[in-house]
Structure formats: C-alpha cells, structure tokens
Amino acid sequence: MISVIDYGAGNIQSILNALDDLNVEYKVTGNEQVIYNSDKIIFPGVGEASFAMRKLHLSNLSTMLRVTKKPLLGICLGMQLLSEKSEEGDTCCLGIIPADCLKYNAANVKVPHMGWNKVSLIKGNILFDGIENETHFYFANSFYIPVCDYTIATTDYDIKFTSALQKDNFYGVQFHPEKSGEPGIKLLKNFIEKC
C-alpha cells in the first residue's frame, strides 16, 4: 500500500488520478501510524514552503519523514522540502538532502518556470527506467535546488538545476509526473514497482 501524504498543502487529486491509472492501492493520509504501515510514500506539495513545513510539524510528520527507510517520492514542493532550507519564506526544511532551495532570478527569466522542459539524465537511475534521456516533463515552480551530489537529472532554466534527485530511499522530482503524459505515468510506475 502507498501512502499519499495529505498535510493540507495543495491539491492531490491529479496524483490520485494517475495512481488510479496504475491500479495501485493507496491511502491519502496525514496519520503517522498509517504511513508507518505502508510500503512506500508519495510526498506531494503545491504551495508555499513555510506554510507546508508548518503543516508538517502540526501533523507530527516531520520527524517520521526524516527517519523513514521506506522509499519516498517527493514531488515539486515535496522534493524541495527534502532540502536543508528554502529561500521561500526563509524556511527550515527536512534537511535530508544537503542543499538549499533558491529562487529563480526574475531579472533573467520568467518566474514561475511554467511549462514543458527537457530532463537530462546525468546518472542512471531506476526511477527513469525505460524513459528516454531529454524527455519533456511539466514544471510549475518558482524555486529550485541547484545541482548537488544527489542530483540524478538536470534541467536548464537560466541555470542548470536539479530536476530529479536521489539519496538512499529518498527520491525527488521537481516536475509533475502526474501532469507529464505517458512518461510521467511511467516514472510513477517505476517508483511503485522498482524503487
């Protein structure tokens, strides 16, 4: 069973629709015990970082997420919250990935970074099994994690940033696989079946 963490940060219906396509059993939950008893965790997030972190603390989920050994996939803000801290709302995040989340420079590019952009694979990873290098995925973000030791894929927007990462059981994607057509569904399937 997959836990889709619901901590009141943004809409998760699209992720549930995609999981329905894949016919997997899931529970939408903010309950620590339910998450503890699940096989894998999907950690979504749309919205603002400090608000989301506050919600995580209030639902007593932050410690559990830090120490879990279950495969976890952070999506969009969910990935950013794996970092040390975010410039968005000057927020202390979960500190799983030793990198900070920064804001795009609006003097150089339009912010938010919104639309379809290429994802370049820099390390082979089962998350991208069967997905071609340089496939387009759908992004909608104003903040980014720079390239770091745990980056597995990068995307260009003003600078080269982390579009996917992995550290141990923690996976993260900056784009929205649930909104990226077939390749996105494939990525979710890889996470569910192979990670």
Partner 1 sequence: MLTKRIIPCLDVKDRRVVKGTNFVNLKDAGDAVELAYRYYMEGADELIFLDITATEEKRNALIELVRDVGKVIRIPFTVGGGITSVDDIEVLLNAGADKVSLNSAIVKNPHLIEEASKKFGSQAIVAAIDVKLVNGIKQVFIKGGKEETDLVGLEWCRKVVELGAGEILLTSMDNDGTKNGFDNDFLRLVVNSVAIPVIASGGAGSKEHFLDSFSIANVDACLAASLFHYGEINIGELKKYLSKNNIVVRI
Provide the binding-site residues for partner 1, judged by CB under 8 A: 10-11, 13-14, 17-18, 20-21, 46-48, 106, 110-118, 136, 138, 140-142, 156-157, 176, 178-182, 184-185
Please tell me which residue in 93, 101, 113, 176 is annotated as part of the active site.
Answer: 176
Coil, strand or helix: which one is 113? strand
Q: How far apart are CA 95 and CA 76, in angstroms?
A: 16
Q: How far apart are CA 56 and CA 129, in angstroms?
A: 31
Q: Return the sign of the alpha-carbon dihedral for residues 138, 144, 146, 150.
A: negative
Closest CA to 40 of 72, 5, 75: 72
Please tell me which residue in 25, 57, 76, 136 is annotated as part of the active site.
Answer: 76
Cβ proximity to partner 1: between 68 and 153 the closer is: 153
Q: How far apart are CA 95 and CA 8, in angstroms?
A: 21
User: How far apart are CB 145 and partner 1 at their closest, in Å?
Assistant: 17
Cβ proximity to partner 1: between 70 and 136 the closer is: 136
178 is catalytic: yes
Residue 164 gets which letter from DSSP?
Answer: E
Cβ proximity to partner 1: between 90 and 182 the closer is: 182
Cβ proximity to partner 1: between 21 and 168 the closer is: 21
User: How far apart are CB 183 and partner 1 at their closest, in Å?
Assistant: 10
Task: Evaluate whether 72 touches 170 at the Cβ level (below 8 Å).
Answer: yes
Coil, strand or helix: which one is 97? coil
176 is catalytic: yes
User: How far apart are CB 110 and partner 1 at their closest, in Å?
Assistant: 6
Amino acid at 108: N
User: How far apart are CB 167 and partner 1 at their closest, in Å?
Assistant: 26
Active site residues: 76, 176, 178
